[in-house]
Amino acid sequence: MRVSDLKIFDEDPKEPLKNFIDGEFVSARETMDSIDPSTGKVWVKIPRSKDEDVNLAVKAAKAAFPSWSSSTVQYRSSLLMKVAEIVEKNLEKIAILESRDQGKPINLAKRIDLPRCVHNFRFFATAILHHTAPSSHQDVPIRALNYVKHDPIGVAGLISPWNLPLYLLSFKLAPALATGNTVVFKPSELTSVTAWVLMHAFDEAGFPPGVVNMVIGTGAEAGEPLVIHPDVPLVSFTGSTIVGKRIGALCAAQNKKVSLEMGGKNACIVYPSTDLEKAVPMITTSSFINQGEICLCSSRVYVHETIFDNFLEKYVANAKKFTVGDPRGDFTLGAINSELHYNKVMSYIDLAVKEGGTIHCGGKVNVDGDCHDGYFIAPTIITGLDEKSKCVQDEIFGPVVCVMSFKTKEEVIDRANATPYGLSACVFSALSDELHNTASQLRVGTVWCNTWLTRDLNMPFGGTKQSGMGREGATDSFHFFTEQKTICIAL
């Protein structure tokens, strides 16, 4: 069925969604509920896949590998371009589903999630046409020509989280397939619907059966069987640090190739020369957009003591401009993704008070009407916490930010580096040497200077310390999803 003909765009599905295995939509034996976080009500039933479903999907992907891996890059590229085109054509309708499943405002899904997903498919579909590999001519002990060939590896196991469902999935699917691997992927059980729509786009684009397979289910029941399956030689995971470390250990035991994109507790440093009129709206967005549910959100803001009061006043005023409500309406922020996560975020706000913090704005929001039982939290700004407090150290992954003052560059760099995480950071200053010096000493994968979330897919992306292992991006994803082979020809 073509994506544009899917009934789910017009009415909530009466039947449970299905897995996509070997080019067919197939039911799992059991199903489970998927909740609309803005209403707190079940809106769709999804497969609760187990080992048996994963085994079928891996079997199909393994069987499809010889033919797919030996197809031309032009062919693979053209199919991925078709997927991009189909998603783009249905962007508005898919954005509504993404919002319904995740809790984010429809306007955000339309503006960011879906366009970036389309861009990712186009980027990796075209990047694959331009990769080159080194060659070397040697003279001793014999004359020979050496060159490198990048071979696809096999069945890639891809596991993604709930915060940017389709967008983060596209970072894995597009390069895995472009490089000639077949895939079995598991979206988050909390946000599987747009992945299911995407499988219709792959079908419509004409992907051969078995090249792309999707199993929906929980991490323990479907994710782990995929990770440990002996016919899955590489695993790409995005999610929490605790799960990522478990997956890393499981992969190490079988010597699998693994890439881990994990949690963050990102610092934002604001130096005195910063133009606050320009910077504060950007910092506010970096803190709260998508309900603060982006691994790259600023959650610790360090402001130089000489501008602290001025900054705080402007920051709180900007945060209060963020409206919270029905994701279908004209609001800046929607619902927190699940009740469990809502309770976690609220528990940290309560803890902040116990830890001696001052709450300047935010907390629970009651929304009337259909969203009465949804999970809503306003941008929450906390000061007065000790560097070692749990609110400053733990990843909260919601619209909650701790603001602290600093005196010197050396001190703030030490403090910014003093969490177990190392995903990203922001630095704001009008002085270029201050930007360069600070950026070079921060132990993170990405530093944004006077900007935030500006992604150039040619650049490596990933985390250090407990935030990840490996990098994604044009060259890095190419290397991850292929095995380099050196071929030597005697001349």
Q: Annotated catalytic sites, by residue?
A: 261
What order of strands is seen across the sheet that includes strand 400-406? 358-364, 377-383, 400-406, 298-304, 266-270, 424-428, 446-449
Nearest to 35 by CA among 160, 192, 187, 190: 190
Residue 215 in 3-state DSSP?
coil
239 binds ligand NAD (CB under 6 A): yes
Residue 408: count of CB within 10 angstroms of its CB: 10
Q: Least distance to ligand NAD from the beta carbon of 180, Å?
A: 24
CA-to-CA separations, 9 to 98, 193, 456, in angstroms, rounded: 11, 11, 32
Compose the 286-325 pattern: x for residues touching ligand NAD by CB under 6 A, - for all others: ---------x------------------------------
Q: Least distance to ligand NAD from the beta carbon of 238, Å?
A: 5
Compose the 153-192 pattern: x for residues touching ligand NAD by CB under 6 A, - for all others: ------xxxxx----x-----------------x-xx---
DSSP 316-352: HHHHHH--B--TTSS-SB---S-HHHHHHHHHHHHHH
470 binds ligand NAD (CB under 6 A): no
d(CA 53, CA 468): 29
- The residue within the footprint of ligand NAD, chosen from 246, 320, 344, 455 (CB under 6 A), is 246
Number of residues that bind ligand NAD (CB under 6 A): 31
Residue 414: count of CB within 10 angstroms of its CB: 13
193 binds ligand NAD (CB under 6 A): no
- The residue within the footprint of ligand NAD, chosen from 36, 98, 113, 261 (CB under 6 A), is 261
d(CA 155, CA 157): 6
- The residue within the footprint of ligand NAD, chosen from 240, 417, 437, 450 (CB under 6 A), is 240
- Which residue, 152 or 264, is less far from ligand NAD as judged by CB? 264
The rounded radius of gyration (Å) of the Cα atoms in the chain is 23
The one-character DSSP state at 483 is E
263 binds ligand NAD (CB under 6 A): yes
d(CA 468, CA 55): 28
Stretch that binds ligand NAD, among 39-47, 91-99, 220-228, 280-288 (CB under 6 A): 220-228
Chain residues 120-159 in contact with ligand NAD, contact rule CB under 6 A:
159
Which positions lie near ligand NAD, rule CB under 6 A?
159-163, 168, 186, 188-189, 218-220, 223-224, 227, 238-240, 243, 246-247, 261-264, 295, 395, 397, 423, 463, 468
